Amino acid sequence: MASLNRPRAKIAHVYRGTFMHSTQDTTLEIIEDALLGVDTVGKIAFIGKGSEQDKLSQTFRFSSSNVTQLKQHEFFMPGMVDTHIHAPQYSYTGTAMDLPLLQWLNTYTFPVESRFKDLKFAHRVYTEVVKRTLKNGTTTACYFATIHTDASLLLGKIANDFGQRAFVGKVCMDRNKSDYKETTQECQKETCRFIAELLNKKYPLVKPVVTPRFAPSCTGDLLGQLGAIARKNNLHIQSHISENVDEVKLVKELFPESKSYTDVYHKYNLLTDKTVMAHGCHLTDEELTLFSETGASLSHCPNSNISLCSGLLNVRNVLKHKVKLGLGTDVAGGYSASMLDAVRRTLDTSKVLTIQNPKHQALTFDEVFRLATLGGSQALFLDDQTGNFEVGKDFDALRVNVAPPGGPIDLILCDKPKIQLEKFLNLGDDRNIVEVFVAGRKVVPFMEPAAE
């Protein structure tokens, strides 16, 4: 239990029941009959024993009559962190699974993303993806948008209006066979405009992220400019790396002077402790060492890796190299916008690797639970703000009911909390997620944003 100090802000909410989260030292910590207080600025003020409610109420000055008691089969867990999702691609999610990556981009992705110069269309898609991910427990999302600055700013506004914690990236690409691209100068100018205008909004939970699409669609000149922009503004960076074998070969052809795909990004100052790179299926041990040395992170997107036949990421090997790792849905390469699906596909991938090599140690569900919560916050350099239920962090949380009426889970036995969590991760869906909180604010069930 954390030390109990008198809070700087008043207590706004107090919850009593079971809390499950991960810590630096444990993949799963279960705290039964706990009392957790959230202050008026949305931070966790205390967590203590339910049996000490009277003492805590005096120390933190809250009324015991205002304590919210969780119901039977309910628990709190941290909100899930989607470290890689393409918001515009939500419009065709669940389709277009018949081609490998490079052909898939040209056939489906680039034509659809070109439509986002239409702000009405963008508003419709971005509203739906933010609502869908929140309903499914994604309290933090790291979004790719498109090359269109105004539509990317609109995504930031929608995430803010619905209360989601988000990074939003205006996509940069100055090299493409189709017309879906900008000149190097346009990329630089519009990226700076996007960053300035989004920061000027002063959204408390929505920030810009520098977003070169991936090395094959960017010239070295552009990559260098984006590295400089990120450094100047102390911003996060996101891109893709080593997703597909043909992509890796293409990078070698386009950047023959670089020792590896990772070296391309490193050369242009795009590997920092605020960088998250998606996929990494085909990274060498030498490249993983460079990730560890720079503090850069990987986003594991198993649904996409399987759906596009890209490859299988060996998470054990990534963690062995002490590389920060979170999970991503990678909509629409991944066909599900739910982080619960990312959890399941992560477990599946790990077991496939064990089938291929019995010496490989498959991941456990509690290890993957950690990746979906605290691991994601570490990958996005947010673990000082969110990721678990430590005092001083923002209250980003899911109130889960394992057995709601008409839900997907049948509880036959009186299962212990750990079993209930495992059932939820393997069988649950949005029907089990009763409430979603971001920075102490209840964002699900929805209160529709007011019209301007």
Crossing angle for the helix pair 220-233 and 184-201, to the nearest 10 degrees: 20
One domain for residues 203 and 236: yes
DSSP conformational letter for 380: T
Give the domain-ending residue among 348, 380, 412.
380
Give the domain-ending residue among 363, 380, 397.
380
Q: How many domains are contained in the chain?
A: 2
One domain for residues 152 and 295: yes
One domain for residues 188 and 262: yes
One domain for residues 98 and 164: yes
Instruction: Determine the structural domain holding residue 107 and report its residue range.
Output: 80-380
360 occurs within a structural domain: yes
- Which CATH number belongs to the domain containing residue 57 in this structure? 2.30.40.10
160 occurs within a structural domain: yes
309 occurs within a structural domain: yes
One domain for residues 30 and 149: no
Q: What is the pLDDT of residue 61?
A: 94
213 occurs within a structural domain: yes
452 occurs within a structural domain: no
Q: What is the pLDDT of residue 4?
A: 52
| Cα–Cα distance, 126 to 158 (Å, whole number) | 7
Name the residue with tokens 């041990």: 285
Question: Could you give the residue ranges of the DSSP H alpha helices within 234-338?
Answer: 245-254, 261-267, 285-294, 302-307, 315-320
**pLDDT truncated to tens, each residue of the chain (452 aa)?**
444 555 568 999 999 999 999 999 999 999 999 999 999 999 999 999 999 999 999 999 999 888 999 999 999 999 999 999 999 999 999 999 999 999 999 999 999 999 999 999 999 999 999 999 999 999 999 999 999 999 999 999 999 999 999 999 999 999 999 999 999 999 999 999 999 999 999 999 999 999 999 999 999 999 999 999 999 999 999 999 999 999 999 999 999 999 999 999 999 999 999 999 999 999 999 999 999 999 999 999 999 999 999 999 999 999 999 999 999 999 999 999 999 999 999 999 999 999 999 999 999 999 999 999 999 999 999 999 999 999 999 999 999 999 999 999 998 887 899 999 999 999 999 999 999 999 999 999 998 654 44
- Which CATH number belongs to the domain containing residue 319 in this structure? 3.20.20.140
| Cα–Cα distance, 284 to 242 (Å, whole number) | 10
- On whether the CB atoms of residues 42 and 165 are closer than 8 A, the answer is no
314 occurs within a structural domain: yes
- On whether the CB atoms of residues 142 and 276 are closer than 8 A, the answer is yes
One domain for residues 328 and 433: no
Q: Count other C-beta atoms under 10 Å from residue 71's C-beta.
A: 12
3 occurs within a structural domain: no
Nearest to 299 by CA among 250, 254, 242: 242
Nearest to 102 by CA among 2, 244, 258, 309: 244
- On whether the CB atoms of residues 48 and 106 are closer than 8 A, the answer is no
Residue 411, Cβ density class (10 Å: 0-12 exposed, 13-18 middle, ≥19 buried): middle
Residue 208, CB half-sphere, CA atoms under 13 Å: how many?
28
Question: Could you give the residue ranges of the DSSP H alpha helices within 97-254?
Answer: 101-104, 110-113, 119-135, 149-162, 184-201, 220-233, 245-254
One domain for residues 318 and 404: no
One domain for residues 218 and 348: yes
- On whether the CB atoms of residues 226 and 267 are closer than 8 A, the answer is no
One domain for residues 23 and 168: no
Q: Count other C-beta atoms under 10 Å from residue 291's C-beta.
A: 26
Residue 413, CB half-sphere, CA atoms under 13 Å: how many?
6
One domain for residues 84 and 212: yes
One domain for residues 185 and 298: yes
6 occurs within a structural domain: no
Amino acid in position 375:
G
Give the domain-ending residue among 335, 354, 380.
380
Q: Count other C-beta atoms under 10 Å from residue 365's C-beta.
A: 18
One domain for residues 427 and 338: no
Query: Model pTM greater than 0.95?
Result: yes
